[in-house]
Amino acid sequence: MRRVVLDASVVMKWFKPEDETSVSEARLLRQEYEAGTLRLAAPFLLPFEVLNALARRWRWGTEDLGATASALDELAVDYVQPDLVAVTGWVGRGLSAYDAAYLAVAEQERAPLITADERLLVTAKGVAVGLTERET
């Protein structure tokens, strides 16, 4: 079974209508997860970031957010506490502590971080993998 770290830029696409970029690639990852061939890891902040993006970026209301929160609760994600020293290394390279947490978890777990965030892809080559570039 393949293990990956997913960030909010990917997971939020699991809940978005088709007009978002790279939705089909994100949903292929979800299909792999649901088929049992993909194991997910992330820092504890993943569900909070997803809900924040849905509320602020897409202006979802309480009902839709509640349904999404329930779906996020049902995901079997291995939530990992990132090493704070590793986080500071990425923050020192200009990333937010939130983005750095995903990278620190990926390093700890020796798993790629799959992301749709261009800044992470540029800053963390070798750790971050683009959603459209991921291995199959």
DSSP strand pairing (2-6 vs 77-79): unpaired
pLDDT in tens, 84-136: 999 999 999 999 999 999 999 999 999 999 999 999 999 999 999 999 885 54
User: Could you tell me if 3 and 12 are in contact, meaning their C-beta atoms sit under 8 angstroms apart?
Assistant: no
Q: What is the CATH number of domain 2-130?
A: 3.40.50.1010
CA atoms within 13 A of residue 87's CA, in its CB half-sphere: 13
Q: Where are the domains of the chain?
A: 2-130
- Euclidean distance between CA atoms 83 and 80, whole angstroms: 9
Total-model pTM: 0.92
